[in-house]
Amino acid sequence: MQIALITETFTTGVGRHVADLMIALCQRGHEVHLLHGNRRVDPALVHQVEALPGAHVRAVPMKRAPHPRDVFSLWDIWRYLRSHAPFDVVHGHSSKGGAYARLLTTVLRARCLYTPHALITLAPDLGRGARLLYGSAERLLAPLTDSIVCCSAVERAHAVALGLGAQRCIVVPNGIAPFEAVPLGVRQRAGLAPDTVLAGFIGRLETQKAPDVLIEAIGLLHRRGVPLHVAIAGEGRLREPLQQRLRALGAEPAVTWLGAADGRRLLAEVDLLLMPSRYEGFPYVLLEALHSGVPVIATPVGGVSETVEQGNCGRVVPMGDPAALAATIEHLTRDAALREELATNARRHAGAFDTGTMAGRIETLYRTGSCGVATGT
């Protein structure tokens, strides 16, 4: 098959997913054309995929948010696809790539797939006007889509409730290949005592990931004298206000700020992963935690039911509740035997989420429009 993948962002979790899918498809003998935005790009991912047999990679100017210049981006993509036609499949990723793909496949006569990677309407803090606008756009574009590939059961339930079509929405969980990583050495850097539990937060310092809730929980734990240290890996516009709040709480010694560090290397040495997100699709950090044997404390967002709950790999806490988060962290911090049990469960459950299974299900969708997992994993 000749396949086109379209994504505005080619970095972080979406970029990793697209790269893994492209690698698997090329290894299966397909010709894959990747058109990605020119702003949010991970050069390492580009280098990884552009050397693949049967791969074609092109950067296209794209804006992250809706913009009048989207029409020029759409025109650039259309000219490229027309010059390399015919395509059997056009697969858009995230809202911008999904919109481009669906608008173009009406004239390309190719099968069209859309992977939202967390529909924006999942965001609890989205304003009423924006929710109406984005929800209406998704409903208008849904009939142009053969399959909407949801990363988790939570995302599929939301998509169906939004009116995107129960038969059209298919769950295909993310998957990753087993990996080994060298620890970052946070324990040595922070001078931690042997009995101090090291927890990690990995993600953008933005409202979606709820680092503000985590900082409040850290303040509570520090006042109680809980032997816990938290390493925060990530950057974002909230970093400075978060650091100011941590100082106000008198809990600065309890945190090490790592910036844009390698999350896999951090997972190689932490005892817990903290994920207090307000909404998600199926973050790769969950899968990386499973493969690393790290128990997870998370909110009930996308992917958590399939990993933390089904595999008994951690604990789930209410969203936006620092006290509940702190209480659960303290419980696991003080119970080493329970942490070890959850870690064992995580390693065992990791085998359910591999790139081969993920790519195989999507390839079947490309060929037939069904992969037999419409309502579950």
CATH no., domain 186-352: 3.40.50.2000
What distance in Å separates the CA atoms of residue 18 and residue 359, rounded to the nearest whole number? 10
- The sheet carrying 272-275 orders its strands as 255-259, 228-233, 197-202, 272-275, 296-298, 314-316
186-352 matches 2-177+354-368 in CATH topology: yes
What is the per-residue pLDDT across 311-366, written as a single tens digit (0 to 9) for each? 899 999 999 999 999 999 999 999 999 999 999 999 999 999 999 999 999 999 99
Q: Which residues contact 238 (CB under 8 A, 6 or more apart)?
A: 205, 206, 207, 211, 212
pLDDT, block means (10 residues), the chain with 377 residues = 97 93 96 96 95 96 91 96 95 96 90 95 89 94 96 94 96 92 94 94 96 98 97 96 97 96 96 96 93 97 91 95 98 97 96 93 88 46
Name the E strands within the chain: 2-7, 31-37, 55-60, 89-93, 111-115, 147-150, 169-171, 197-202, 228-233, 255-259, 272-275, 296-298, 314-316
Written out in words, the top-level CATH class of the domain with range 2-177+354-368 is alpha beta
Per-residue pLDDT at 371:
55
Per-residue pLDDT at 368:
86
Give the tokens for residue 64: 């992250």
Give the tokens for residue 193: 């005592």
Question: Looking at this protein, which amino acid is placed at residue 294?
Answer: V
Per-residue pLDDT at 106:
81
Contact indicator for 190, 229 with CB cutoff of 8 Å: yes
Per-residue pLDDT at 375:
42
Q: Is residue 170 classed as helix, strand or coil in its secondary structure?
A: strand
List phi, psi (to 5°) of 3.
-125, 140
Beta-ladder partners of 198 = 229
What distance in Å separates the CA atoms of residue 284 and residue 303, rounded to the nearest whole number? 9
- From residue 236, alpha-carbon distances to 195, 240, 267 in Å are 31, 9, 20
